Homo-oligomer: A and B are copies of this chain.
Amino acid sequence: MEKGPLGRRRGRGALERILSASQQLFRDQGINRTGMDQLCAVAQVSKRTAYQHFTSKDELVAEYLRRFDPGVMPEVFDRTDLTPRERLLAAFEIPASTPLCPYIAAAVELHDPQHPASQYARDYKIAIAARLTEAAREAGATNPEQLGEQLALLIDGASARTRVLNSESFPTAAAIAAVLIDNAIPA
């Protein structure tokens, strides 16, 4: 492997390297500003290999989103040590170093609602709202759907503002969430 014209060979596992490079580059540079040449260079994969795993960049982008959070925030909603009300609030305690909502970014960058990645972004947002609604129901909210949709809106607002202003907006969203939750759950 070391000699000959193939000194840079990395062997099997190209697909994972491609997706790993996608996570990094799409987050840091955006989707449109990341060319396949650069992506393949970072992944240490030949371009031909990349196009044998993904028929197009669009498909790679869609898979990148699918792999980002397949469990839909399991570290929040699958915690059994928290009450439903605590889980609702935990959704706003982000790990600080989170790059922030690639789903919104993808929908804006691609700008085509029919793009598979845009469709998945919608699905993901609906799934988040559904999990919030579920927790709201368990917490005894009088209108769980409404509370779930409201909290989902707060998350997206904090994401958007963090992105535009580069100032942490999740504490603000968390404060609003606390008010809404208290108002929505009868004492």
Contact = CB atoms under 8 A, between A and B. Distances in A.
A131 interface: no
A26 to B, nearest CB: 10
Interface of A is mostly: helix
B164 A125 contact: yes
Report the copy number of this chain in the oligomer.
Answer: 2
A172 B122 CA distance: 17
A170 to B, nearest CB: 10
A153 interface: yes
Contact of A163 (B104, B163, B166, B183): B104
Nearest to A105: B108
A152 interface: yes
Contacts of A154: 153-154, 157, 176
A122 B30 CA distance: 19
Contacts of A125: 161, 164-165
Interface in A3-19: none
Interface in A158-182: 158-161, 163-166, 169, 172-173, 175-176, 179-180
Interface string A50-85: 000000000000000000000000000000000000
Contacts of A29: 111
A35 interface: no
